[in-house]
A and B are shown apart, each in its own frame.
Chain A
Amino acid sequence: MNRQALKLCLFFGLLSTLAGPARGDAPAWMHNLVNAPLPAHDEKADAVVLYEEEVITVLSQDKVRHTVRAAYKILRPDGTHHGIVGASINPSRKILGMRGWCIPAQGKDYEVKEKDAVEVSIPKISGSDLISDVREKMIQIPDSNPGNIVGYEYEVEETPFVLQEVWGFQDTDPVKESKFSLQLPAGWEYKAQWRNHAEVQPTPAGTNLWQWSLSDIKGLREEGDMPPWSGVAGYMVVNFYPPGGAAADRTFHDWPGMGIWYTSLTRGRRDATPEIKQKVAALTANASTPLEKMDAIATFMQRDIRYVAISLGIGGWQPHSAADTFNHRYGDCKDKATLMSAMLKEVGIDSYYVVINTRRGAVSAGSPAQVGAFNHAILAIKLPEGVTDARLAAVGQDAKLGRLLFFDPTNTYVPLGQLAGHLQDNYGLLVAPDGGELIELPGLKTNSTGTNRKGSVKLDAAGNIQGEFVEVHHGDAAWGQREYLKTVPKEADRIKLVESELGKSLANFSISKASVQNLDQVNQPFGFTYSVTVIRYAKTAGDLLLVRPRLIGVYSSGLLENQKEPRQTPVVFEGPEKDTDNFEITMPAGYVVDDLPPPVDVDYSFASYHSKTEVAGNVLKYTRTMELKELVVPVEKLDELRKFYRIIASDERNTAVLKPGGK
């Protein structure tokens, strides 16, 4: 038998194994793995993948079959979850067969079949779909314990919305061997694109059959504040095309093509009904400028259209019509973008969808065009000629479309003109009339987000302090605080936000006369003012008073302290940030400064920190500034970041020493 014929046999053999061996024994392909060498792993690996394979058989434009098989060796108790196997199903994606096996280290094999499967809906979390037709079909493989091998096979047939597949070959478990096969009908073609892994050429395995193969793939570790998985793990996107340009509305291989696909999905959805037109007229009746009109519509979207996601079938990508969203007064992100676009059109302002991932780094400049890369939709509003305003910070220049203002109508706490940190410097697909382009959204200045605290307290000789604080929060810092305050179940709980923050720095404190500024005015900075009394804030040592000039606020972090293994991934910040603190401590009568902490000046490419403590008369003055300048700190700079946090931690604990005057 020649090699080509052997490969064909293997391929069709895989399909036929779904019919299964008799007597519940695991199939031969699993038994062949029993003595196979394991991929390199450390003692923390829960399990290793001995073998995994996915075969995509394209039967027609409307029918694609997936045959999936995998086998794991479980190494640790935490790896037993590999005994639970799930396959996603929905009305257009059906399971044809599903089985799992266990080869125990001792004793006979186990088998579990589809009839024992359980169907579950995706668990609901805040912000997830209220209604969805996606479910998971799951089987539990018996005896999935350390030392045993578990494996499964399932076959799924679906009517695809897009002729595209993704082979995600890298996960947390090390992989010994991974294969991906594509069987196309005669005359079809494909294009494969790789991310986070060097391109590997397929081996022709038969007529219109290609197979990609990888071995010894390293497992990735989950790390705090790491980039999104798709930003670091290897995967391949393969697009396939019928001959003669058929199914053009469901095929693409680049971002412009995906833009055309999305345009076709949204066609007609942004048509305004008479009711919408009437509402726009009412909303903008008193608006004299385009910016005022945009403001009125944005406020309506943020306040009156609540977030409800109903995703059935293609509804995960295709928005409801503007009319539906307007009538119901609810919708998800793409519904809100659709209605807002329709309303803006009524005042003569064009706008475009921007589909994006809420985690910066999931898509970047070199990412292949992929439907599943995005999970959110916002708008790019074409700013009319002459519209300028200092508030309009989230503005970018597009070569074809001109000045674009990026706005997220789903986020009720970020006003028109601003952009949440996670969307800044992020890549999104701008869906333009003639297609689409992958664009980088603008980054805002570092001082667009942050907290400015001012405090003025009096210290007495017993070490107690009493005084007032004013906090002003901008950008994302304000958004987070507003969101918390709006979701607390009762008014009395609002103060808990301040208590928790002060509790990080102060013991035995009590708050009085607290108030909130601009809770509902998202265009204005958000703030707190409060009075605080702290018993024995300063410590005594003989006749000395030990006073920490940094009264409140914590910028240090233990993120890089507690991990023993060298970190694999960069640290990603939520967004740019600039914080300032200005505190004044009036010293008790009869005391003078004996010792002051030294000033701190640290400036790295990604962040800076400056603090100083000074004396002016009987007042101890502490000022500091912390600025995050770059949103990603690469692995090679993590030692600097660790040092940066340690310097801040040290400064935050530094102390001034006061002594009775004249000594």
Chain B
Amino acid sequence: MTRTWRWIGVSLAVALLAGSAMWRASIVNGDDWLPISQEELAMKSLAEAPGASAVVLYRQVDRDDGRSPHEDNYIRVKILTEEGRKYANVEIPFLKDSSDVRGLKARTVRPDGSSVRFDGKVYEQTIVKAKGVKYLAKTLSLPDVQVGSIIEYKYTTDYRSGWVYDSRWVLSDELFTRKAKFALRPNPDFALRWNWPMGLPANSQPPKEEGGVIRMEAQNIPAYQIEDFMPPETTVKFRVDFIYSEENVPEKDIAKFWKNFGKKSNDSIENFVNRKKAMEQAVQQTVGAGDTPEVKLQKIYARVQQLRNTSYEKEKTEQELKRDKEKDTNNVEDVWKHGYGNGRQLTWLFLGMARAAGFDASAVLVPRRSQSFFNPNVLNERQLDDNCVQVKVNGKDLYFDPGTAYTPFGMLPWWETNVQGLKLSKDGGSWVEVPPNDGELTKIERKASLKLDSEGTLSGKLTVTYYGAEAQTLRLDQNLEDDTSKKKLAEDMVKETVPVGIEVTLTNTPDWKSSSPTLVTEFDLKVPGWVSGAGRRVLFPTGLFSAPEKGLFEHAARTYPVYFHHSFRKQDDIDVQMPLGWKISSLAKPAMLDAKAAVYSMTAEDKSGILHLTRSLRCDLMMVPKENYGALRAFFQAVRIGDEEQVVLQPGSTSAGN
């Protein structure tokens, strides 16, 4: 079984003083194995994991962060199908200079209870070796593994003495886990805080500290799997995080913890931002005396975005960085003078300038919900890893993040919206709800003026306009690309929306480099064979740009909630001129679905012989619980029915189709 232990927040780099007595008989010493029950030997399947190729019957992790930090691991896996035999390939990666794997023992137990001890070679393979880094893996393959076998292995990972590492119990595995036991003896010299941000598996008791050891047992942990539109991995995997801090006593009061963090962050940010005179000069160079407050703010925003944003440049090698000799940036004045900064620094520059222009502006720390979801009850300050600025404009609290490239004025990147943020102040700050972007400003609009020929081919002009987050996402995607790549992307985006093969050529020069709220792309479009034959008649499907919704949520079952990054709208407006002599004999039935948070409509009209089609899809959903998946699926299935409606055409003397 492949296991990758991800160590977070590497070290606090302090020598350890405390001793550590043996606190539990090691599970990895010697050739002793835990007893195997008849039920485990005879098991053919597990009702809790139907169809599983293998299940973890038992897993134990005992970690000691004391004088000789180490972790003992014991894993027992039941092989249920031929496919499950792949779990007999075991790979244990480790960082050579800070850890080592020793005492690796393994065996295969046949269904009759007889066992084959692994006495083959354990290979030590290089995964990556670079200056100062050796990432290796101990690898072995257990012999004689058949369906019904139990494989088990155990090993100890030693960590560098004198170092303390944050750690994590990852409960969710790619296999169902029947029973797992975890223990951690913390380092006594540092405060340790632990939390389980995604909750715990059903019927599991939270970790408890007893006799200086934190322990937890869990049963029936579901396997982790991947689905379309699922929330970030970190938000669906059960885990317990352990975070060391330099405090003597860990702050356990939630409100106090965040107040303390807020004060500390406020001090640091104010120290960076508070360059009043320099900021006033910068504002003077940026705005006009007669500008309204809103115009002033827009000009400041635009000016900040004109500066070089180093967060969006190609990663440089050490040599390039040395040659660039970029100056140290200690505050917003430096950012302004140098004419560059990273995204975070630019956003704080905006804060400084907004204040200097007389606005009531505050720093706000926000989570990135593209990676994980913020939970204030989880006392981990790393959750708030992004920043924006709150500005009061005409009595309204507006939010800005000019440091994230291509963010239009008045909007935030989607991952900073709909989140709880910490608005900083001297006293530690207060929680604010960062609102979603205006849904009406995030959409894709397609306008097409086309002609149908008697062979059934559609051709003409198409304009696709991307608004708000849709435009920003494309611009970020193409940030380091050239015109050829951008043209290809724009054309590919159209190809992906039409359910049949098309010919499409970009005809304009879209504005890829600005933070304009729109990105306009224009094309020559040709759709061969769009209509279909029905004897004397010809049928024209209404959903010309319906491909993205075609395969959406096709599966009836769902394991995780559905997660949409942001609300979206799609609006199509298409005119189709008929071939000479052709008539529209029957229009498609209009469709209208109103599920409140999601609305779809489709209309077809005969405008003096020109077929006029409209299609509108709006979705203001973000997180749809698993229980409501059926309703969501039904909505999108109904959208597809609407998209497949047909307009009946009556050809003249020649007919289309085959």
Contact = CB atoms under 8 A, between A and B. Distances in A.
B9 interface: no
Contact of A490 (B51, B314, B484): B51
B143 A327 contact: yes
B223 A489 contact: yes
A43 B484 contact: yes
Given A43-B484, A328-B143, A561 B317 contact: no
B617 interface: no
Interface string A576-601: 00000000000000000011111010
Contacts of A143: 317, 320
Contact of A487 (B83, B131, B537, B541): B83
Contacts of A646: 528-529
B637 A303 contact: no
Interface string B76-97: 0000011101101101000000
B123 interface: yes
A21 interface: no
B114 to A, nearest CB: 14
Nearest to A141: B317
Given A327-B143, A487-B83, A650-B658, A561 B502 contact: yes
A118 B320 CA distance: 18
B314 A44 contact: no
B128 interface: yes
Contacts of A117: 130
B317 A142 contact: yes
A541 interface: yes
Contacts of A499: 554-556
Interface in A467-516: 486-496, 499-500, 502-504, 507-511
B500 interface: yes
A308 B90 CA distance: 11
B556 A44 contact: no
Given A535-B641, A540-B589, A328 B141 contact: yes
Contacts of B128: 118-121
Contact of B49 (A118, A330, A490, A507): A490
Contacts of A412: 82
Contact of A486 (B81, B532, B588): B81
A142 B537 CA distance: 64
Contact of A489 (B52, B143, B534, B640): B52
A201 interface: no
B89 A130 contact: yes
A657 B529 contact: no
A110 B322 CA distance: 12
A654 B641 contact: no
Contact of A655 (B81, B146, B501, B534): B534
Contact of A306 (B85, B588, B643, B648): B85
Contacts of A116: 131
A539 B557 contact: no
Contacts of A81: none
Contact of B53 (A487, A496, A500): A487
A650 B457 CA distance: 12
Contact of A508 (B174, B537, B587, B641): B641
Interface string B484-508: 1100000000010000111100000
Contacts of B385: none
A490 B588 CA distance: 42
Contacts of B586: 541-542, 544
A275 to B, nearest CB: 12
A656 B51 contact: no
Interface in A65-116: 76-78, 80, 107-108, 110, 112, 115-116
A334 to B, nearest CB: 16
B539 interface: yes
Contact of A492 (B85, B314, B557, B646): B557
A653 interface: yes
Interface string B569-609: 00000000000000000111100000000000000000000
Contact of A546 (B503, B534, B587): B534
Contacts of B556: 495, 499, 510-511
B285 interface: no
B645 interface: yes
B144 interface: yes
Contact of A539 (B50, B139, B588): B588
B524 interface: no
B154 to A, nearest CB: 20
Given A508-B637, A561-B502, A650 B529 contact: yes
Contacts of B500: 558, 561, 649
B125 A503 contact: no
Contacts of A330: 88, 141, 143, 145
Nearest to B633: A508
B251 interface: no
Contacts of A345: none
A595 B536 contact: yes
A362 B148 CA distance: 40
A131 interface: yes
Contacts of A140: 317
A109 B532 CA distance: 61
A131 B323 CA distance: 41
A341 interface: no
A328 B144 contact: yes
Give the 10 A-B CB pairs with smallest separation, nearest first: A561-B501, A491-B51, A595-B535, A503-B554, A507-B640, A653-B532, A541-B586, A508-B637, A558-B501, A119-B129
27 contacts: A76-B485, A78-B485, A107-B323, A112-B317, A118-B130, A119-B130, A121-B126, A328-B143, A329-B144, A486-B81, A489-B223, A503-B554, A504-B551, A507-B640, A507-B644, A508-B634, A508-B637, A511-B556, A536-B641, A539-B589, A562-B502, A564-B503, A597-B533, A650-B658, A653-B539, A654-B533, A654-B658
Given A115-B131, A657-B537, 11 more contacts: A43-B484, A486-B53, A490-B50, A495-B555, A536-B641, A562-B501, A562-B502, A646-B528, A654-B533, A654-B534, A657-B534
